[in-house]
Structure 1
Amino acid sequence: MSTIIMSQCWPLQGLSVTQKAVLISLADQANDDGVCWPAVGTIAARCCMSARAVRSAMDHLEAVGLLARDRRFNSSNVYSVTPAKFKATAAPSKGTRKTAKKGAAPGAGAAPHAGGAPGAAGDAPGAGGEAGGAGLEVRPVPPNRHITTNEPSEEPPSLAGLSAAPLTKSEQEEQMQLACKATWAAYRAAYRIRHGVDPVRNAKVNTNVRDLVKRLGREEAPLVAGWFLSVNENFAVKRMHDLGVLLAGAEAYRTQWATGRQVTDTSARQQDQTQANANAADDAKALLRRLKGNADAQ
């Protein structure tokens, strides 16, 4: 475990929940040079996701410079986590290039047919097993987003001029479960670094995680949960950074995370004292004005 690599990965923005969870899992197992060699199945089990989702996330991490892979035959791949090389505006992921290939213009491997009669040349499969492209609409995939069936899309509700259908209850629940898994993975990894053991997980903790996602949202809940373990507030430290403490002050902690400012007990007392001094000064000024008014009246 490398606290150096882990501390460099937590602040990174522009990644999906799945991608961030895989990155943190790799950083948790890396040495101070960022090198590790876990199996894909191990990462999938740790992050509570499928192996396919892990591979898709790795493809994106590699595309934006956060991961380098040394593929080996009959052995685990060797990974290098490189947060210093992160480029959020890197080239589109492999998913974008595949979509462009499938949406090739008519005539690239199959000629369009006239009148749409069965058996015409345009109905023959192309070189890659795809049907001729005549009449097909190509929908662009936004860059830097590798969307799989295991990772819900969070693109704008309108794409290529078409309105997206509202999510069903089962789809909403699937997204909630993914966000809860990512939030727990981030909290657990940071907890192990701070306290050296895994946090307790039970029904109450699961409820707290779900409520935290509801209050902070799917994207920010994992980030705030991981950051919370760096808080040195007296009450949070005494409670060993219990999730209940985070949930009780979720919005306040989220503001501290977003602004990069931690409110410690000392700083809170200083703010209180500053406000008390300001109030005393205002009271003194008001008293002087009243005395001056009384003197003028006499």
Structure 2
Amino acid sequence: MSFQAMAWAVDVKLPTREKFVLLMLANRTNHDTGRCDPSHKRIAEDCGMSVSSVKRAIETLEQKGYLVTENRAANGVKLPNSYRLLMNQGVGSQGTYPVQPEPTMGQPEPTVGSQGTEGVGSHRPINQESFNQEFNLEDNLKNLPAAASAAGAVVIPFEAPRVDIPADMPGPKDQTCKTFKAWANYAMAYRKRYSAWPVWNAKVGGQISQLIDRLGAEVAHSVAAYYVTINDARLINDCHSLNNLLAKCEAYHTQWQTGRQMNSATARQLEQTQANINAAQEAAQRIRDKGGKRNAFL
């Protein structure tokens, strides 16, 4: 991370999306070389945004004169763009970083705990498994929160018509049953991920009923399906058991509603990012203080 770049980015006045992307680019800027070439996917992971949102933010930042994007390729293979932060606005302006040489083809990107040029807090989360719709109910999904569809979870809408349920699916088959929708969504998402049905018994039935009581019948089924898509080592180790879902169902409801998964790696990254921002703010204040003292003698 470049504290100089972070101090500059902290003081830049921008809308939230562009501001956060600029901060993450500064966080990915090497302090010594000024190299900044994270992929769009990496920036999106840092910001908790979609890749398309990151691309639009970068285009806006370039149009406003905060950075220059340089397309890169080697041996006909497209590489992640390189970015030059134009630090000629705001506190701590020291011009731009120099253009860095092209990296060697095949050089691996730094991963968790690496000391490469990606900067403090680098991480590569597990790729989220793609979940396709199990039922032909696309038209009914239009009124669901965007986060549920974006997560790719199998969702049977609350007002859904009767649908064909696989004969081998355990649990209730009567769609008028209180636990049917929540269980069916959880079970179908579970089968997609683990290629096996979850166990149904009296305890499971009680847990599903509690889930509905706590979240409401209108959303419990969506949260249950979304929960199985979360990539967290602890949840995967327990095969996304209903015990874990019920223990923190309100938190998973928030994740489903916002469309952003939160696991231990994400929490650590957010904590580190906030620490970096705090340090950058302190650096910016020191720069301002030094500038004020210097002007006092002029």
Superposed pair shares fold, TM > 0.5: no
Structure number with higher helix proportion: 1
**TM-score normalised per structure 1:** 0.41
The structure showing larger relative contact order (alpha-carbon pairs under 8 Å, at least 6 residues apart) is: 2
